[in-house]
């Protein structure tokens, strides 16, 4: 299906830049969001595009959202209420189009077709959890370079426990235990024994006090102790792996986006975008997509922008108005732009129609507008 001609999508043109985005106009849920930017939400062949669903006032960004999928071959948009997940755990298998997610203490999956059923992959061992409350199974699932495991940065009781789970049989392997909040754990794209993770703000569940980030990016190798990426404590946000496995990307606040060599600690500072919130790189490294805000709060106004690093030209994709009230505050509706579908598209969340929508823009259109 050609999204430019599909009745499932409504074209919307930014009045400042002239860039046309395509908003999913068929609604199977009141709130339809792009995935958190770390994970691709589209199958490699471009047939299936998964997205988050919410039904206000039900649930939150941490617990209670569900999944929908666009089938570009049949023109159907489907919602699967049995896919209730925690945090931003869903992961799409690029080859099959199947989706995996964490719920409670367990890993589940299902296919994109109506007759596919939810299947249990495995659970964190009961003797590891005991009677403690499970706050999350995984921040966002990532798969090991050999395809055999998912990484699990579970939080229960007063601890965060890192481990991995076999895709084939659900067998769980313990890695490490922490007494504060570490999350955003991501398997290396090239090394099945290496994981990037982050030190997060730590809300103490007993006192209610919040302990701020002091040193954000960390690495852990299977069987070894964790170590920080930088020798000197460094506060950044929103990190993800480069496809080469030798670099990680992150956002350094108003300074923009960094690319960091994990062996030498050398920083390539793109200086873009000013006021960065999230960013994501095209696999070629020649292009970046990012979102910005002038003042952060849940539901705040935000702008999505594209940078052509070869020419130095950038273009605004969309300027999202504020989404005040419960919907903006509850469901983590940041744009979270990301290259998807073999990098043919950028997907993001938009509020330009006065509701929370899923939108796409062809990458080729953005490259053409910034070619000179």
Distance separating alpha carbons of residues 10 and 365, to the nearest angstrom: 17
| Radius of gyration, CA atoms only, the chain | 20
User: Minimal CA–CA distance to 68: which of 102, 100, 29, 95?
Assistant: 29
pLDDT band at 372 (very low <50, low <70, confident <90, very high): confident
DSSP state of 34: P
User: Over the stretch 138-183, which tens digit does the pLDDT of each residue have?
Assistant: 999 999 999 999 999 999 999 999 999 999 999 999 999 999 999 9
On average, the pLDDT of the chain sits at 96
User: Over the stretch 247-256, which tens digit does the pLDDT of each residue have?
Assistant: 999 999 878 9
* CATH homologous superfamily, domain 9-369: YVTN repeat-like/Quinoprotein amine dehydrogenase (2.130.10.10)
DSSP state of 255: G
Distance separating alpha carbons of residues 237 and 183, to the nearest angstrom: 12
Q: How many percent of the chain have pLDDT more than 90?
A: 92
Q: Which string of DSSP letters, residue by residue, matches 212-238?
A: --SS-EEEEETTS--EESSSS----EE
Distance separating alpha carbons of residues 292 and 272, to the nearest angstrom: 10
Rounded to two decimals, the pTM is 0.96
User: Minimal CA–CA distance to 142: which of 229, 70, 245, 34?
Assistant: 245
How far separated are the first and last CA of the chain, in Å rounded? 30
Structure tokens at 118: 């939810």
- Answer whether the bond into residue 57 is a cis peptide, omega within 30°: yes
* Cα angle value 121/127/132 (rounded, 5°): 95
Tokens 């849940």 belong to: 298
User: Over the stretch 32-66, which tens digit does the pLDDT of each residue have?
Assistant: 999 999 999 999 999 999 999 999 999 999 999 99
Distance separating alpha carbons of residues 303 and 319, to the nearest angstrom: 4
On the question of pLDDT at 357 being above 70, the answer is yes
Structure tokens at 350: 């938009």
Mean pLDDT on 344-353:
97
pLDDT band at 214 (very low <50, low <70, confident <90, very high): very high
User: Over the stretch 255-275, which tens digit does the pLDDT of each residue have?
Assistant: 899 999 999 999 999 999 988
Which 3 state secondary structure label does DSSP give 48?
strand
What phi, psi does 367 have (nearest 5°)?
A: -65, -45
Strand-by-strand arrangement of the 287-292 sheet: 276-281, 287-292, 302-308, 313-320
DSSP state of 243: T
Domain residue ranges of the chain, discontinuous segments joined by + = 9-369
What phi, psi does 129 have (nearest 5°)?
A: -85, -40
Sign of CA dihedral 79, 85, 88, 90: negative
User: Over the stretch 120-138, which tens digit does the pLDDT of each residue have?
Assistant: 999 999 999 999 999 999 9
Q: Which string of DSSP letters, residue by residue, matches 149-193?
A: EEEEEEEETTEEEEEEEETTT--EEEEEEESS-EEEEEE-SS-TT
On the question of pLDDT at 1 being above 70, the answer is no
């Amino acid at each position: 299906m050609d999204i430019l001609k599909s009745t499932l999508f409504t074209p919307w043109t930014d009045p400042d830049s002239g860039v046309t985005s395509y908003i999913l106009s068929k609604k199977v849920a009141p709130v339809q969001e792009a995935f958190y930017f770390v994970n691709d939400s589209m199958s490699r062949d471009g047939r299936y595009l998964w997205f988050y669903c919410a039904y206000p006032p039900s649930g939150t960004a941490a617990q209670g959202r569900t999944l929908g999928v666009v089938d570009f071959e049949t023109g159907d948009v489907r919602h699967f209420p049995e896919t209730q997940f925690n945090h931003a755990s869903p992961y799409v298998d690029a080859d099959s189009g199947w989706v995996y997610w964490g719920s409670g203490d367990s890993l589940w999956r299902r296919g994109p077709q109506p007759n596919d059923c939810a299947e249990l992959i495995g659970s964190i061992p009961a003797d590891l959890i005991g009677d403690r409350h499970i706050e999350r199974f995984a921040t966002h699932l990532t798969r090991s370079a050999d395809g055999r495991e998912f990484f699990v940065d579970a939080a229960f009781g007063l601890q965060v426990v890192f481990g991995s789970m076999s895709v084939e049989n659900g067998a769980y392997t313990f890695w490490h235990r922490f007494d504060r909040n570490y999350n955003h754990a991501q398997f290396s794209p090239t090394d099945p024994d290496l994981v990037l993770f982050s030190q997060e703000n730590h809300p103490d569940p007993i006192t209610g006090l919040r302990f701020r980030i002091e040193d954000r990016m960390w690495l852990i190798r299977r069987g070894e102790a964790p170590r920080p990426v930088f020798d000197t404590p460094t506060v950044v946000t929103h990190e993800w792996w480069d496809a080469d496995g030798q670099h990680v990307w992150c956002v350094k606040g108003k300074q923009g986006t960094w690319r960091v060599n994990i062996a030498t600690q050398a920083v390539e500072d793109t200086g873009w975008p000013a006021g960065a919130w999230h960013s994501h790189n095209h696999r070629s490294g020649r292009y970046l997509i990012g979102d910005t805000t002038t003042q952060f709060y849940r539901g705040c106004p935000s702008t999505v922008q594209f940078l052509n690093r070869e020419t130095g030209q950038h273009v605004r994709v969309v300027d999202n108005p504020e989404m005040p009230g419960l919907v903006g505050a509850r469901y983590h509706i940041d744009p979270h732009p990301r290259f998807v579908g073999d990098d043919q598209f950028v997907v993001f969340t938009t509020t330009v129609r006065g509701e929370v929508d899923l939108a796409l823009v062809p990458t080729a259109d953005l490259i053409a507008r910034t070619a000179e």
